[in-house]
Chains A and B, each alone.
Chain A
Amino acid sequence: MTRDLRVQTSYALLLAALLAASTLLVRQMDRVRSDEPLQEVLYIPSPTVLKRMSLGYSGLLADIYWTRVVQYFGTGHRAKAKHYLLLQPLLEITTTLDPKLIPAYEFGSVFLAQKPPEGGGNPAAAAQLVEKGVRENPQEWRLYYDLGYIYWLELRDPAKAADAFERGSKISGAQVWMRVMAAALKAHAGETETATYMWTNILNSTSDPSLRANAINRLRCLRVDAEVKILEERVDEFTRQTGRQPAGWEDLISSGLLRRLPVDPKGYAFKLVGSRVEVAQPDLFPFITRGLPPGQQPGDMPGEAGFKVLRNQ
């Protein structure tokens, strides 16, 4: 080995050793500081100041902030956080830096609207965010759709939901069912009726076998929901008329409130338990919200899944 090569090798080894040592030290420091609570701090809270400081490169900064939103929400979601204090300001900064960043409105509103620990539990802020998206991107019909979703299912405001669907339906490229959704909500149709409409649309507009099977299953469950509601009304009517609860379906048939033994879409007779109506085989109807035995939790809201499918079409 020549002297020069020895010197070069020594320098390389020394450099590698020093870098390895510094890495080990940083790892030790991380361990020492791991107990420190993660501070929820926005160093520059003003979106306008940040936009000015970006010197025109605000698009890239918006991407970085959007990534921070995703990471912030994902970390909190995994830890089952009860509060997402930075979520709204981070989304405000992201959408001010790049008002055309559609995923920030679409996913950000979902993050904000869902109840903790699934989300920020702030549907009003979610609606505000999507309203901003609509103002900045008036030609994006899907944003009106998101807005309608939040107003209808999260804020329980069918009038504003109908308005959002109607405005969106006028945009070029919007799906036809947007207009009908607006009409259904304006006609004060209930959630079950509107969801039935949505799943019928999905069934008629797709050739995907699994999606069709899902739609048929959903429609069947919605039919059960509707029938259980009617049957419970008849039971109440019988109780009002006679002053006692019916002993069985025969009482309702003999009093003229029912024509025959009520059966579910699979052909099993509904059970009458006191004043409650139950399905005989709950496992056959995984999405029903009515007619479940006590203690069994209903699945997702009837409209929610339909919204997700239609949105992705």
Chain B
Amino acid sequence: MIGRLAAIAFNTYREAVRDRVLYNLILFALLIVGSSLLFGQISLEIDRIVLINLGLTAISLFGIVIAIFIGIGLVSKEIDKRTLYTVLAARPVRRWEFITGKFLGLVMTLTVNALLMSVGFFAAVLYVSHGLGRGDLQLLTAIYFILLEFVLITALALLFSTFSTPVFSSIFAFAIFAIGTFSEDLRGFAGMAHGVTRWVMTGAAYLVPNFAALNVITQVAHNTAIEPRLILLNTLYVLVYAAAVLTASVWIFERRNLK
């Protein structure tokens, strides 16, 4: 089973690389160098802050866009190209293994991409700050949270890919990401309602993925310490939520008639 999962995951990774996904690294490098030079000249006293905000935002947004655009095609593309029948019929691969393998492959692609970006990002921070201190360890926490974001959004894109067309899947995925950034507000609004509305709204607010807690970019830009408890809770939350979304994906995919 692990061998089959690994084979599908590595194949997904290879496909993504073949699709020139890693070309975004060039754009990232240009963005970091260009913005450092530009903001150094036209702004005041925020060279390091803007580098951290821009670098981490770029790592996050590039990854989310890649996750959505590749994730939405992971299943539907295989169906369209009819390669899925070969995989599921001719080889001893179960449907859940196919979904999980695809998920792991895309998460691996995004992790490699983010880690390469992080190397460039830390080099830029080193250049601007003339050294790295203990406070910069917080930057690693922010990057770790970004990787957790990727896990969530990949699972969601894959879920939509199992039952919808690529266009609608991308709309759904972007929408759910945007709504997820408002998750704290939604819970606040739900708390203001009464009776049944309150219960329904609260349920919906907790159902939405909590992307808000995963974005600590602004805090780390000011060297604000991130609580270890938040790191643990975010990790557990993402693992549980992604498992739930993958379960839903497998459930839908198992019920699909692929003939």
Contact A63 B181 (CB under 8 A): no
A67–B43 contact, CB under 8 A?
A: yes
B35 to A: closest C-beta gap in Å = 9
Look across to chain B and name the residue whose beta carbon is closest to the beta carbon of A98.
Answer: B218
**Given known contacts A63-B50, A63-B53, is B217 in contact with A57 (CB within 8 Å)?**
yes
Q: Which of A55, A71, A101, A107 contacts B49 (CB 8 A)?
A: A101
Measured as residues with beta carbon below 8 angstroms from the partner, the interface class of chain B is: 20 to 34
Contact A60 B53 (CB under 8 A): yes
With A55-B178, A56-B211, A100-B218 already in contact, the answer to whether A70 and B42 are too (CB < 8 A) is: yes
Query: Which residues of B have CB within 8 Å of A101?
Result: 46, 49, 222
- Complex interface: chain B residues within 8 A of A62 (CB): 53, 218
Contact across chains for A60 and B224 when beta carbons are under 8 A apart: no
- CB within 8 Å for A103 and B217 given contacts A55-B181, A60-B54: no
* In the complex, chain B residues whose CB is within 8 Å of the CB of A106: 45
Size bracket, chain A contacts: 10 to 19
Task: Decide if A59 is an interface residue (CB 8 Å cutoff).
Answer: yes
Chain B residues with CB under 8 Å of A175's CB are: none
Cβ of A200: which chain B residues have Cβ within 8 Å of it? none
Those of A275-299 within 8 Å (CB) of chain B: none
Q: Does A83 contact B (CB under 8 A)?
A: no
A219-243, CB < 8 A from B: none
Q: Does B44 contact A (CB under 8 A)?
A: yes
Cα distance, A128 to B111, chains bound together (Å) = 45
Is B234 on the interface with A (CB-CB < 8 A)? no
B221 interface residue (CB < 8 Å to A)? yes
Which 7 A-B pairs have CB atoms at the shortest separation, nearest pair first?
Answer: A59-B218, A103-B45, A56-B215, A59-B53, A67-B43, A60-B53, A63-B50
Q: Using A57-B53, A63-B50 as known contacts, list a sample of 4 further A-B pairs with CB atoms less than 8 Å apart, ordered by residue number in A.
A: A55-B181, A71-B42, A100-B222, A103-B44
Residue pairs across A and B with Cβ atoms less than 8 A apart, 24 shown, are A55-B181, A56-B181, A56-B217, A57-B61, A58-B218, A59-B52, A60-B53, A60-B217, A63-B50, A63-B53, A63-B54, A66-B44, A67-B39, A67-B46, A67-B50, A70-B42, A71-B42, A98-B218, A100-B218, A100-B219, A100-B224, A101-B49, A101-B222, A103-B44
